[in-house]
Amino acid sequence: MMLKQTDTDESLMIAYAKGNADAFEFLYARHKGPMYRYFIRQVSSIELAQDLYQECWSRIIKSAHSYLPTAKWTTWAYRMAHNLCIDHFRTVKKLESYNEMEYGSYDRHALKPEELHEMTRLSEQLKSCMARLPTVQREVFLLSQETDMTLKMVSDVVSASYESVKTRLRYAKSKLQECLQQYRIDGDKL
């Protein structure tokens, strides 16, 4: 099978299950960033996020032969990620804010010192605001922002009704907006 960037995640997973390792490489390259960010924003440390991230990909690999495209691949994969987080939270019973400073796609070395300082400040403010969100709201917000999932897909991942997910997302956005309004950039509210 000749692979293309336009191949669906589902077709790539099926190709991988049939032995095409390149198909897995496509899937991994496509989803490694969003999935890693999902974990980093859900758990208390970078090390734990890395462990859960690796465990999730390991489970995806182990489950390749039993994968059935009854839902979007992202729903299936993030369901695994969600379950790993739930298992962790049941064990730990406490969620702390994460320690990573994230710059997204910006090249930190290309920034002027004042721009880097501003990004650092904004990153810290956003982390602080995200940490204040209830876990269920933070998770729905992250899944809706970090993936291409629809709210229906998110509801499948978190085992909640579509209306509950919509409400959680609305509350999360409202709380983040309120929190971020405390901070100003050049006199404008965020």
Position of tokens 């409400």? 167
- Measure the CA–CA gap between 116 and 111, rounded to whole angstroms: 6
Amino acid at 103: Y
pTM of the model: 0.59
Contact 129, 176 (CB under 8 A): yes
Q: Where in the chain is the domain with CATH 1.10.1740.10?
A: 1-96
Average pLDDT over residues 120-130: 80
The residue that leads in pLDDT, 17 or 188, is 17
| Residue 160 binned pLDDT confidence (cut-offs 50, 70, 90) | confident
Q: Where in the chain is the domain with CATH 1.10.10.10?
A: 110-185
Q: Which of the four CATH numbers 3.30.470.20, 3.50.50.60, 1.10.1740.10, 3.40.47.10 does domain 1-96 have?
A: 1.10.1740.10
Give the model's pLDDT for residue 122. Answer: 75
Among 109-113, 137-141, 182-186, which range has the highest average pLDDT? Answer: 137-141
pLDDT over 70 at 52, yes or no: yes
- The residues, ordered by sequence, that sit 6+ positions from 163 with a Cβ below 8 Å of its Cβ are none
Position of tokens 């629809």? 150
- Measure the CA–CA gap between 116 and 108, rounded to whole angstroms: 7
CATH architecture of the domain with range 110-185: Orthogonal Bundle (1.10)
